Amino acid sequence: MRIKSALGAIALATLPTTVLATNGYFSHGYGTISAGMAGAGSALSQDSLAAATNPAGMAFVGSRSDGGLEIFSPRRSYTVEGGAPNTAQTFYLAPGAVSSENKAFFIPHFGYNRDLDNGHSLGLSIFANGGMNTEYSGDNGGTFGGGKTGVNLEQVFIAPTWSWEFSEGQALGISPLIAYQRFKAEGLRNFSGFSSNPNALTNNGTDDAWGYGLQIGWQGQVTETLRAGASWRTIIEMEEFSKYEGLFAEQGGFDIPQMFNAGVAWSGIQNHWLLLDVQHIRYSDINSVGNPMMPNLMQAQLGDDQGAGFGWDDMTIVKLGWQWQQDAAQTWRAGVSYGKQPIPDEEVLFNILAPGVQEWHFTGGFTHHFSESLEVSGMAFYSPRKNVRGDNPMGPGQEIELGMTQIGTSLSVGYQF
């Protein structure tokens, strides 16, 4: 009980206020250094947040600690065109454009690693996810006629990590993952007739859940100028959100999907690194996320195993990063990533709540060494507006368009000892 209380305190201190620069609802990168290269880093690890991408990378970062804060600003909105309210059709939406409130958030991260004897190291990385956050006003009855409408999902991961450089330039790593998440939903009362438990559907405040999983990885030198790395994260089995067992499939289930990372890093140009990563996230494995809204809403109740979800597809993201060591004190970075967003056109109605539509991320960053021990890193990113447009499946003749753009910046301090 004391251990869980201590972990809870860590999780609460690290939870994002709401959202991150997102591929679906996973961050585009973890730690300021990797995020400055669009999240690339499976093959080249440089700070103690490395375990979030590849646990094996902790074998190469040395004894150090890192802490930082990201300021994130998303602009989320939806637009409805056509149709008119009809008593025979419950979910015709009021025409017009509506923007989500809250446009600035703060997300901390922390890492620690210590080299031990014989190539072993032990570390701890604490990082966060977000992205499923909206807050629409209750004007004109609210989005679904239930007043103020929206959802908020927050996730934090605590990753104790063991890594081992088992031969020169070759390492394995393993991170038992402890995950904590919180969720709340508002404004969905008009879906009560579709719910297996209308009392656990909406407006029940914040619920939380713990879960556990595993991430393993390899990273190593392939040639004199080429490094490679790969990692796999299991599905993280989470406790159910009991306050929302009438909303999410599997009686409030909201497990965290498995993820694969693989990449290479090439240093064939003096003082430069070029990085290429591929990441795959299996959203469709999680019923509450991957189940389609239709026809499931008509064939099963919300909260049932086959109850309607957000209909998200899997995502594959390609990340390209560049790093230039200008001199002993100054390093510069840039990156770009692309992944086809996970929301099909026919799933726009429910995804007003979770418009995770971003595809491109453009990033830049730096590290400045004040001494051999102390460094400061910065990162900024821009994710241009992406729109997804489709028919309202419960309002013939009506179209819904989801849209979002994102900007943000982060700063972190690294200390080597």
DSSP annotation string for 231-290: EEE--BEE---GGGTTTSHHHH--PBPPEEEEEEEE--STTEEEEEEEEEE-GGGSHHHH
Closest among 372, 344, 373, 368 to 356, alpha carbons compared: 344
> In this predicted structure, what is the pLDDT of residue 129?
83
The four Cα atoms 132, 138, 143, 148 give a dihedral, to 10 degrees, of 40
3-state DSSP call for residue 406?
strand
Would you list the domain boundaries of the chain?
2-416
Closest among 159, 178, 268 to 217, alpha carbons compared: 159
How many residues would you count in the chain?
417
Distance of CA 404 to the CA centre of its chain: 15
* Residue 206: partners with Cβ closer than 8 Å, 6 or more residues away: 152, 182, 183, 184
> In this predicted structure, what is the pLDDT of residue 104?
82
3-state DSSP call for residue 219?
strand
Distance (Å, whole) CA 67 – CA 109: 6
> In this predicted structure, what is the pLDDT of residue 11?
54
Closest among 261, 186, 169, 180 to 213, alpha carbons compared: 180
Indicate if the alpha-carbon torsion angle 190, 182, 381, 45 is positive or negative: negative
> In this predicted structure, what is the pLDDT of residue 319?
98
> In this predicted structure, what is the pLDDT of residue 405?
96
> Are the beta carbons of 31 and 127 closer than 8 angstroms?
yes
> In this predicted structure, what is the pLDDT of residue 17?
45
Identify whether 295 is preceded by a cis peptide bond (ω within 30 of 0). Answer: yes
Burial class (CB in 10 A: 0-12, 13-18, 19+), 165: buried
Q: Can you name the CATH fold of 2-416?
A: Porin (2.40.160)
> In this predicted structure, what is the pLDDT of residue 8?
52
Distance (Å, whole) CA 70 – CA 73: 10
Give the chain's count of helices (H) and strands (E): 5, 18
The secondary structure element, H or E, covering residue 81 is strand 64-81
Distance (Å, whole) CA 144 – CA 122: 49
3-state DSSP call for residue 308?
coil
Tokens 């992944």 correspond to 339
Indicate if the alpha-carbon torsion angle 189, 357, 361, 264 is positive or negative: positive
- Mean pLDDT, the chain cut into blocks of 10 residues (417 residues total): 52 50 90 98 98 98 97 94 67 94 89 98 92 86 95 95 98 98 96 97 98 98 98 98 98 98 98 98 98 96 97 98 98 98 97 96 98 98 98 94 96 98
Q: At 178, which amino acid appears?
A: I
Distance of CA 388 to the CA centre of its chain: 19
Indicate the DSSP class of residue 298.
H
> Are the beta carbons of 114 and 123 closer than 8 angstroms?
yes
Burial class (CB in 10 A: 0-12, 13-18, 19+), 155: buried
